[in-house]
Amino acid sequence: MNYLDKAAKSIAESIRFDSSHQKKARGAPFGKGAAECLSHFLSLAEKLGFSTKNYDGYVGEVLFGEGEEFAVLCHLDVVPAGSGWDMPPFGGVIEGGKIWGRGAMDDKGPAICALYAMKQLLDEGFVPKRKIKLIVGCNEEDGWACIEHYKKVAHMPEDGFSPDADFPVIYAEKGILHVRLHFPIKKAPFTRLQGGTSANMVCDLCEAIPRIRDEKKAAALGLTFEKRKLVSRGKSAHGSTPEKGENAILPILQYFAECEVVRHIIECLFDDAYGLKTLSDETGGLTLSPDLVKYRKGEVQVVADIRYPATMSAERVHEKLRMFGIRYETLHHQEPLLVDKDDELVTTLLKVYEKCTGKSMGPVAIGGGTYARALAHGVAFGPEKEGDEAVIHQPNEYITLERVKLLLEIYREAIRELTK
């Protein structure tokens, strides 16, 4: 059976649902698009011969086998499309050996590949000695309420992996801290300031209405005036890898840098005057991405995405933040993930990766956060490889058909080895 063609078609179908966080509706806690995407996934799984459960539109699961539970944790929600697309972000177009659209790599493509990997095993007559739970959430990008709900109404396995990061295998994930910082400002040099679409996505569009219009200064900073609005366009990227994007907030702030408060914002969040980015360990250095900004009620509010080293405590970060001298609040926090490099789960997945690719590599650490943290004993495993073009949380996201073919093989072997 040609699993590749079927998987590619299913990925394209899934992409066509705009499953970004939207207004809550009945039976759709994260919006109609996410609920419909979840229903599509579970209906597909049933057609492939699996039993499924839908937990109130928050999260679903696909079941295979009996015994001690083993989890494969994926998500169907996506970040907003953002700007700069050449392909329709929710078109699910298959062209040039690629499937295009938001979620292709993060995480609809890998989720559907994991489902078809289970289908391959089912068709081959494989009988797992563990109950495999393919769990698909709808709120991974914006708070993890799906996982919280699942833990209330179902049983989360102890062990498993999440196909939502990098190969060969992720043994450590940095801590995640989203904070909203409040910078009081009197006599602001603008009447409007707004930018960004998601707390974990580098801002690619920022706008302001200045009190004084300076065309020459704007041009020097690469800004444009569109009627009354001063506009900055950047490049989106995942908040854990801000260096892969171009933050549109900074040029706007530089335009207003004659204002002392604005200079303080730049010093704190872009110049790193208080040394947040000096925090580092074997899992990497701290990253800081100011992703949302708005001016309201006499203050500039900035939401920053901070990823701190896995062996450090969040208090080390808070010590630095308090040095800013302004009020701030924690919006979201996830403790780091750290699994021993010699753990059997890690070594087994490394062997699977080597078998399928011919490459012998060691485990790695990342700044991204995956559902692996929801498990007592979990790691992240693919789908990205070293040297891939960065497409996650960026315009023109895609997954190649070649990668889909590889994921079908890798996830089949991984599930077999871990549940036999």
Q: Report the distance separating Cα 127 and Cα 32, nearest Å.
A: 36
Question: What amino acid occupies position 344?
Answer: E
Going by their DSSP bridges, the two strands 280-281 and 284-285 should be labelled as: antiparallel
Q: What is the 3-state secondary structure (H, E, C) of the chain?
A: CCHHHHHHHHHHHHHCCCCECCCCECCECCCHHHHHHHHHHHHHHHHCCCEEEEECCCEEEEEECCCEEEEEEEECCECCCCCCCCCCCCCCEEECCEEECCCCCCCHHHHHHHHHHHHHHHHCCCCCCEEEEEEEECCCCCCCHHHHHHHHHCCCCCEEEECCEECCCEEEECEEEEEEEEEECCCCCEEEEEECCCCCECCCEEEEEECCCCHHHHHHCCCEEECCEEEEECECCECCCHHHCECCHHHHHHHCCCCHHHHHHHHHHCCCCCCHHHCEECCEECEEEEEEEEEECCEEEEEEEEEECCCCCHHHHHHHHHCCCCEEEEEEEECCEECCCCCHHHHHHHHHHHHHHCCCCCCEEECCCCHHHHCCEEEECCEECCCCCCCCCCCCCEEEHHHHHHHHHHHHHHHHHHHC
Are the C-beta atoms of 15 and 92 separated by less than 8 Å?
yes
List 77, 141, 142, 384, catalytic entry: 77
List 61, 107, 140, 291, catalytic entry: 140
Are the C-beta atoms of 235 and 204 separated by less than 8 Å?
yes
- Structure tokens belonging to residue 149: 């709900």
Q: Report the distance separating Cα 240 and Cα 202, nearest Å.
A: 9
Q: Report the distance separating Cα 151 and Cα 371, nearest Å.
A: 13
- 77 has catalytic annotation: yes
- 164 has catalytic annotation: no
Kindly list the catalytic residues.
77, 140
